[in-house]
A = this chain, B = another copy of it.
Amino acid sequence: MFREIKYNEDLDIVLDQIRKGAFLTVKSGDKLNTMTIGWATFGIIWNKPILMVLVRKSRHTHEIIENASDFTVSVPVNKDLKKALSFCGSYSGRDIDKIKEAKLTTKKAVSVDTPIIKECNYHYECKILFKLHMNEENLHEDIVKSSYPIGDYHTLYFGQILKSYKTD
């Protein structure tokens, strides 16, 4: 089953799952990686549907997405992928082929170069329109303490959702 959905459809369950874990997949040239994310935002900016994700500068994913023009987010709603989510949140793609080791498979995307994670059922294909390197400037001190005790700030990637769909 493949069904296109609106960017804002089922966001209650999609955001609940992202909070528990989803996959951010990036590709640049022959470099491919996926990482577990727990944060993301959906909405409208510049009259376009936007999915924003965050990647710390220390991450292998960061090296790849910095040279990419798109990314995908694959969300496993009611799928038993806890082990794969935990694995992809614990190991670095610098050292191993994470996708293979986590027993995940990729599938060609519809509209972007980066593939999706086949084992998930909600998919968002995004073209990067804007990115921002965070630092402690204008950031609440509570957040500096809780999320950036050793620095290692995020880069925020604002992606236009070109395609969003559900699969089995």
Contacts and interface: CB of A to CB of B under 8 A. Distances in A.
Q: Which of A18, A39, A45 has the largest count of B CB atoms less than 10 A from its CB?
A: A45
Nearest to A40: B43
A154 to B, nearest CB: 9
A30 to B, nearest CB: 25
Given A11-B11, A12-B8, A46 B147 contact: yes
Contacts of A16: 8
Interface string A31-55: 0000000111111111100101010
A139 interface: yes
Interface residues of A, number: 36
A123 to B, nearest CB: 17
A146 B11 contact: no
Contacts of A54: 45
Nearest to A6: B12
Interface stretch (A81-89, A92-100, A107-115, A127-135): A127-135
Contact of A44 (B10, B41, B46): B41
A143 interface: yes
B39 A42 contact: no
Given A6-B12, A9-B12, A46-B146, 19 more contacts: A8-B11, A8-B15, A11-B11, A15-B42, A18-B43, A38-B44, A39-B46, A40-B43, A41-B41, A41-B50, A42-B42, A42-B43, A43-B52, A45-B54, A46-B143, A47-B146, A128-B140, A132-B132, A132-B134
